[in-house]
Amino acid sequence: MAFAENNWNHTRGKQESSLAALMERLFAHLGTKVIEWIHVLGAATIFLFVALLRSLHPKQLPKVVQQIYYIGARSTTIILLVSLFTGMVLGLQSYHALVQFGAQGALGTLVSLSLIRELGPVLTAIMITARAGSAITAEIGIQRITEQVDALKTMRIDPFSYIISPRITASIISFPLLTAAFDIIGIIGGYITGVILMGLNAGTYLHSIQSYVDIKDITDGFAKSIVFAVIVATVCCYQGYYVHRRKDSKGAKAVGLATTSAVVISCVLILVSDYVVTSLLLI
């Protein structure tokens, strides 16, 4: 009897020790990941501030204009196309919902505020990330793995001033402009659906926009777009610039993985920061 009890206590002790070891490994792995994320966040913050300081030089202007064309002007077509159909779908769905309450006159308010406050900045940032952000990461990553960045240092050319700063500055300028275009075309899309297709009075649609949309709604949308611009530009440039430090792969595969990571991380941070900024703006 005593032998069986001792055997059971020994087995129980081994189970408890194995469980404690498993929990220890789990928390150690989790702690390591958290420390790595904090390290990357700090490095990216320093990366951003250094790039912003380099952007104050007057010789940056030609490079900034070139990047505004690449990031902003060449993204206009896709932004306008997405905004038009977003406004049309939003107008269609909102009209059928408002008709049930006899409030179809508020269609213009609903469409315009939804676009200006939320959908405009968020969808613009996501579309630019997909089109220009991925290209930025791939371009900088290729320059890194082909040692072009090292060649710039050899020629005493600052890589931040030549590669990083113009892209971040151009993003901060381009995002609000494209957001404004998205809002305008989206409201026109809502007009097409509500007035032309559904038969709503045009004066009612326009009056509801004029009555309930104020300057604070517009400035809040622009504030979000600037935050998104900083996030997208920093993440994409950082992933490309330090592609050679990736532990999971090297060479061309590392560039592909860095591009994927940049797009995914940027989109996630856009949505997270959208909630944070909205909470701060509503205080």
pLDDT at 9 over 70: no
Contact 268, 222 (CB under 8 A): no
pLDDT at residue 264 in the model: 94
pLDDT at residue 55 in the model: 81
DSSP 248: S
State the Cα–Cα distance between residues 191 and 185, nearest whole angstrom: 10
Give the pLDDT band (50/70/90) at residue 271: very high
pLDDT tens digits, residue range 16-48? 567 777 777 887 778 887 888 888 888 888 888
pLDDT at residue 10 in the model: 54
pLDDT tens digits, residue range 163-179? 999 999 999 999 999 99
pLDDT at 224 over 90: yes
pLDDT at residue 236 in the model: 94
pLDDT at residue 133 in the model: 92
pLDDT at residue 3 in the model: 47
State the Cα–Cα distance between residues 264 and 126, nearest whole angstrom: 10
What is the average pLDDT across 252-281? Answer: 92
pLDDT tens digits, residue range 76-101? 999 999 999 999 999 999 998 888 88
Residue with the bigger pLDDT between 111 and 7: it is 111
**DSSP states of 163-223 as a string?**
IIHHHHHHHHHHHHHHHHHHHHHHHHHHHIIIIIIT---HHHHHHHHHHH--HHHHHHHHH
State the Cα–Cα distance between residues 51 and 168, nearest whole angstrom: 8
- Residue found under tokens 């309450």: 101
Give the pLDDT band (50/70/90) at residue 245: confident
pLDDT at residue 15 in the model: 58
Give the pLDDT band (50/70/90) at residue 53: confident
What is the average pLDDT across 57-70? Answer: 88
Residue with the bigger pLDDT between 150 and 1: it is 150
Q: Is 171 exposed, middle or buried (0-12, 13-18, 19+ CB in 10 A)?
A: buried
The share of the chain scoring above pLDDT 70, in percent, equals 94
Q: Which of 33-42, 205-214, 223-232 has the lowest mean pLDDT?
A: 33-42
pLDDT at 6 over 60: no
Give the pLDDT band (50/70/90) at residue 11: low
pTM above 0.95, yes or no: no
Query: Helix 251-281 to helix 134-145 angle, to the nearest 10 degrees?
Result: 140
pLDDT at 184 over 50: yes
pLDDT at 186 over 50: yes
